């Protein structure tokens, strides 16, 4: 018996559904952003003294001026570079440490109290030391961003190793699977989502670390620009710097999300 013919165009409808969903989501986000900005503009015009709350329209003008003068690129590049390098170093160093902790439970139990103690230590208290040791150059900002993120990466990677199915590990060992096969086929696939989760969380932390370092000692960067504007009672400059940081944070998160989605598609998940 022949099967019933499929409806014409049904495949196209299925393939277009995700696109429509993404379009609806994008429109919803634009509508939300426009509503917030409109309410903010109205409040800054009629309800609040502009000295305390800058208008979004004025912020757009200031950011345009900074972009045309090249200052936005100068300060933004410094902050983005330091945050990115701190985040990258955290992943390159934190993931192997997390894997090591997961592979050696005795080592993890021995180090854990000291590690968590360092993790609980406010990095704000370390920032002056980084400035004294490394100067006001970029290195102190990179190390500050690194110190904000590396603990999150290590802990997430460690939890990813602990979440591996022990029965599956035992089965592969019984079948005499090599250690390389075990790591490549079982441990790394289990750890990968945890690593990407730590990267998404680390984006904001890396920016916080870079900006905090710029607050305490720098001659460029968006954190420096915000601090400089606040010292001159330039509320518009403060909000402009914050808006630029907001845009960078959104862009970083979307890039991390896109990389994770592409990687998961490559793995066939």
pLDDT for 165 equals 64
**What residues make up the domain containing 210?**
52-267
Token couple for 267: 């793995």
How high is the mean pLDDT in each 10-residue block of the chain (269 residues)? 43 58 86 92 85 89 93 93 95 92 86 88 84 87 93 91 68 60 69 88 91 86 92 92 92 86 68
Q: Are residues 131 and 174 in the same domain?
A: yes
Residues 59-91: b if buried by 16+ CB within 10 A, e if exposed: beebbeebeeeeebeebbebbbebbbbbbbbbb
> Which residues make Cβ contacts (< 8 Å) with residue 55, sequence separation at least 6?
40, 41, 44, 45
Q: Are residues 110 and 29 in the same domain?
A: no
pLDDT for 238 equals 94
Q: Are residues 31 and 68 in the same domain?
A: no
pTM over 0.95: no
Q: Are residues 205 and 103 in the same domain?
A: yes
Q: How many domains does the chain have?
A: 2
pLDDT for 9 equals 44
Q: Are residues 130 and 234 in the same domain?
A: yes
Q: Is the dihedral of CA 262, 266, 267, 269 positive or negative?
A: positive
Q: Are residues 258 and 237 in the same domain?
A: yes
d(CA 212, CA 214): 5
Q: What is the CATH number of the domain that holds 97?
A: 1.10.3720.10
């Amino acid at each position: 018996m022949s099967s019933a013919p499929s409806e014409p165009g049904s495949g196209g409808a299925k393939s277009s559904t995700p696109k429509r969903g993404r379009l609806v989501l994008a429109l919803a986000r634009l509508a939300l952003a426009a509503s917030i900005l409109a309410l903010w503009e109205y409040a800054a015009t009629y309800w609040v003294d502009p000295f305390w709350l800058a208008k979004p329209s004025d912020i757009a003008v200031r950011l345009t001026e900074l972009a045309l003068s090249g200052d936005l690129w100068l300060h933004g590049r410094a902050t983005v570079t330091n945050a990115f390098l701190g985040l990258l170093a955290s992943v390159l160093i934190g993931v192997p440490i997390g894997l090591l902790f997961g592979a050696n439970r005795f080592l993890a139990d021995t180090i854990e109290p000291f590690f968590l103690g360092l993790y609980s230590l406010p990095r704000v208290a370390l920032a002056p030391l980084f400035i004294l040791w490394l100067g006001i150059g970029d290195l102190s900002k990179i190390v500050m961003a690194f110190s904000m993120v590396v603990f999150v990466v290590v802990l997430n990677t460690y939890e990813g190793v602990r979440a591996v199915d022990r029965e599956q590990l035992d089965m592969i060992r019984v079948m005499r699977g090599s250690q390389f096969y075990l790591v490549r086929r079982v441990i790394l696939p289990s750890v990968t989502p945890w690593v990407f989760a730590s990267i998404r969380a680390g984006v904001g932390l890396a920016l916080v670390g870079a900006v905090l370092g710029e607050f305490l000692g720098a001659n460029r960067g968006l954190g420096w620009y915000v601090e400089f504007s606040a010292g001159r009672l330039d509320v518009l400059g403060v909000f402009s710097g914050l808006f630029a940081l907001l845009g960078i944070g959104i862009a970083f998160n979307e890039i991390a999300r896109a990389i994770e989605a592409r990687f998961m598609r490559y793995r066939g998940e």
